[in-house]
Amino acid sequence: MTRPLRVALLPGDGVGPEVIAEARRVLEATGVALELEELPWGSAFWREHGRMMPEDALEIVRGFDAVLLGAVGDASLPDDVTLWGLLLELRQGLDLWANVRPARLLPGIPCPLAGRGPDDVDMLFIRENTEGEYSGVGGRAHRGTSAEVAIEASVFTRAGCDRVVRYAFEHARERRGVLTSATKSNASRYGYTLWDEVVRAAAADFPEVRVEHVLVDALCARMVLDPASIDVVVASNLFGDVLTDVAAALQGGLGVAASANVAPDSGTPGLFEPVHGSAPDIAGQGVANPTGAIWSTALLLEHTGHADAAARVMSALESAARHGPKTRDVGGEASTREVGEAVAARVADAT
């Protein structure tokens, strides 16, 4: 008998617990043998213990095959406490160097671009996830005075660029054979230039992939004007972050978008999470869209060797997007739970 898939559920803050409850329901409907454990980390944990997660959190997480995270963030705590104390700590501590975000418009979900539909929006973003502009290197001096200085350094390493760029090439080869690399190397002279060189060098090993180097601002415009011309995009930490929020809008909003944080071929558990945050404005109302969390569950299944189950979850999500029920952010009236139950029922039917 195969070993059960060990998944840590980390519901976190705000709408996190609401969407993770539905993701769990769907995961359990797949019939995949599971061992699930909830980790009560996040802002409530911080209030009790003065930290977002226990000291040995990385060790605990390494005991699982994957982590499914809801959201972190709390209006009463500074973002750098919640973000650096949990999400960035996990990404960097586990060296989850690739952030994978599919941006596909599911049929039935309204697109904000007039006249565009699912045929126009089907992109895959691979974002560098541990260095670049979010390395956390820098400092401040002369705080609070008129002479105050803040320095935030971007750190680009050849090895760090190379692994994520090659991973993106592999995806481009599997899809349409086109890779778009987004930088700003006309204005920044060092980090993005190294990135460009690494892309050119790696391209030699992927002759079947056509590469285009596009400045990030021009790419933002193209995503709006001609999204169908874009397939796989590889970008640094900051640029990937910004581009994928634009992409999330194109695919129906933050409630729909999913992501995977992975360290391919390392054996390290991946961290899977919806792109949205804790959404305090709708938390506790039972109206959050669980699609992003459920889609993240499909990514989790795909990355842990359960491609069939992942495909069943995606086709159930597609069916719910097309025929309902849908939450109000995507034009419906259903509750978080109604969507979760409907998707889980379709997954169970297909199992």
Task: Report if residue 335 touches ligand ATP, rule: CB under 6 A.
Answer: no
Q: How far is the CB of 280 from ligand ATP (least distance, A)?
A: 6
Under the binding rule (CB under 6 A), the answer on residue 254 touching ligand ATP is yes
CB closer to ligand ATP out of 289 and 296: 289
Please tell me the distance from the alpha carbon of residue 239 to that of residue 182, in angstroms, as a whole number: 7
Q: Is 326 in the site for ligand ATP (CB under 6 A)?
A: no
Structure-block tokens of residue 297: 């569950």
- Residue 187-216 contact track with ligand ATP, rule CB under 6 A, x = bound: ------------------------------
59 φ/ψ sector (left φ>0, alpha ψ -120 to 50, else beta): alpha
Place of tokens 């559920």: 9
User: Is 241 an active-site residue?
Assistant: yes
Q: Does 255 bind ligand ATP (CB under 6 A)?
A: yes
Per CB under 6 A, does 73 bind ligand ATP? yes
Query: Is position 308 annotated as part of the catalytic site?
Result: no
User: By C-alpha distance, which of 35, 72, 95, 65 is closest to 303?
Assistant: 65
Q: Closest separation between CB of residue 285 and ligand ATP, Å?
A: 10
**Nearest approach, Cβ of residue 50 and ligand ATP (Å):** 20
Q: By the 8 A CB rule, do 180 and 219 touch? A: yes
Strands (E), 106-203: 122-128, 132-141, 149-155, 178-183
Active site residue 326: no
Binding track, positions 260-289, relative to ligand ATP; x by CB under 6 A: ----------------xxxxxxx-----xx
Write the single-letter amino acid at 89.
E
**Is there a contact between 264 and 169 (Cβ–Cβ < 8 Å)?**
no
* One-letter amino acid of 224: V
- Tell which residue, 62, 69, 55, 42, has the closest CA to residue 292: 69
Residue 309 near ligand ATP by CB under 6 A: no
**Is 245 known to be catalytic?**
yes
Other beta carbons within 10 Å of 239: 27
DSSP 50: S
Report in angstroms how near the CB of residue 290 gets to ligand ATP at its nearest.
7
Catalytic residue among 79, 80, 95, 245: 245
Q: Which of 13, 134, 167, 326 is catalytic?
A: 134
Q: Catalytic amino acids?
A: 134, 184, 217, 241, 245
Q: Which residues bind ligand ATP (CB under 6 A)?
A: 15, 19, 71, 73, 254-255, 276-282, 288-289, 292, 329
